[in-house]
Amino acid sequence: DTGVSQNPRHKITKRGQNVTFRCDPISEHNRLYWYRQTLGQGPEFLTYFQNEAQLEKSRLLSDRFSAERPKGSFSTLEIQRTEQGDSAMYLCASRWDTGELFFGEGSRLTVL
Amino acid sequence: TQLLEQSPQFLSIQEGENLTVYCNSSSVFSSLQWYRQEPGEGPVLLVTVVTGGEVKKLKRLTFQFGDARKDSSLHITAAQPGDTGLYLCAFSPMNYGGSQGNLIFGKGTKLSVKP
C-alpha cells in the first residue's frame, strides 16, 4: 500500500500526558499537511510543510502543539499536556505541489 | 463565520431514492472540490469544478458549479448503501492571499442510505 499512512490509529490518554502521532506521506510528495477534525465538523487546517520546512501554522496550533518533518519525509505531530478539548481525529495529507491531496486514515485521540 | 455552508447537515434516505446536497457561499471561488469521507477514514477527492455552470458526472453522482461560482451541488441518482458517508466541499484559499494549497472545508452533509 503506497498511500498516506498514520499511526497510531487510536490513542487514549489521560489529561496532562503527551502524545505523538506519525505520518508517512506518499513517497514522492513534497507537501504535507496536518488537519484536525472534531465531531460534526469538516477538517480544520493545522500546519503545512514543503519538504522539511514548516511554512504555515494555523491559530488552532497552540504552543502545546509541535510538528516536525525532519528529513522531508515522515512527519510527527506532538501534543504536550493534553486537554479534553484536544480529543479529535488528526488527519495527515500529502500532495505533489498543487496536485491532488491524499489523506491518511487519521489518528483518533481521546483525552480522558 | 463559516465560509462554506453545506445543507442539509444530515440526510437519511432509502436505497433507490435520489438526493441533492448543497454547498453555498457569499464568496466567488476559482474552483471547488467535493470529497467523501467514510466513517473512520480520511476524505477522498471526488471531483474539482472550475468553470461557472460546469457539470461533471461520476457514475451516479452529478456535480454542478453555479454560474456565479459561489455555490455547488451534488446530486446522487438511485442512492445505494455504499454512498453512505460525509460529503464535504472545500476550496483553496491560495487564490485569495491564503497559504500554499491548504483547504478550507465546509461542515459536510452526513448521508445515510438504508437498504
**What is the DSSP pairing of strand A53-57 with strand A75-79?**
unpaired
Residue B96 clears pLDDT 60, i.e. is over it: no
Identify the bridge partners of residue B87 per DSSP, sorted by sequence position. B36, B109
> What pLDDT is stored for residue A35 in this prediction?
96
Question: Is residue A31 less than 8 Å (CB to CB) from chain B?
Answer: yes
Tell me which amino acid residue A87 is. S
pLDDT digits (tens, 9 = 90+) for B31-79: 899 999 998 899 999 999 988 999 999 999 999 999 999 999 999 999 9
Average pLDDT over residues A91-102: 90
Do A91 and A36 meet the contact criterion of CB atoms below 8 Å apart? yes
Using a pLDDT cut of 70, give the percent of chain A over it: 99
Give the three cell numbers for residue B63: 456535480
> What pLDDT is stored for residue A82 in this prediction?
98
> What pLDDT is stored for residue B97 in this prediction?
45
Tell me which amino acid residue B36 is. R
Average pLDDT over residues B87-98: 73
Angstrom CA distances, A70 to A4, A6, A55, A60, B62, stand at 17, 16, 14, 22, 42
Give the three cell numbers for residue B92: 483553496
Band of residue A98 on the pLDDT scale cut at 50, 70, 90: confident
> What pLDDT is stored for residue B1 in this prediction?
56
Interchain pair B101, A31: CB under 8 A: yes
Query: If you average pLDDT over every residue of chain B, what do you get?
Result: 90
Average pLDDT over residues A31-38: 95
> What pLDDT is stored for residue B45 in this prediction?
94
Residue indicated by cell numbers 455555490: B71
Query: If you average pLDDT over every residue of chain A, what do you get?
Result: 94
Chain B residues whose CB is inside 8 A of the A40 CB are 107
Chain A residues whose CB is inside 8 A of the B101 CB are 31, 48, 95, 97-98, 101
> What pLDDT is stored for residue B94 in this prediction?
58
Residue A68 clears pLDDT 60, i.e. is over it: yes
Give the three cell numbers for residue B69: 461560482
Average pLDDT over residues A48-56: 91
CA A11/CA A63 separation, integer angstroms: 21
> What pLDDT is stored for residue B98 in this prediction?
47
Question: Is residue B44 less than 8 Å (CB to CB) from chain A?
Answer: yes
Question: Is residue A50 less than 8 Å (CB to CB) from chain B?
Answer: yes
> What pLDDT is stored for residue B2 in this prediction?
67
Residue indicated by cell numbers 487564490: B95
Do A103 and B88 meet the contact criterion of CB atoms below 8 Å apart? no
Residue B91 CA, chain-centre distance (Å), reads 10
SS3 A35: strand
> What pLDDT is stored for residue A40 in this prediction?
86
Band of residue B103 on the pLDDT scale cut at 50, 70, 90: confident
Burial of A107 from C-beta contacts in 10 A (0-12 / 13-18 / 19+) = buried
SS3 B83: helix
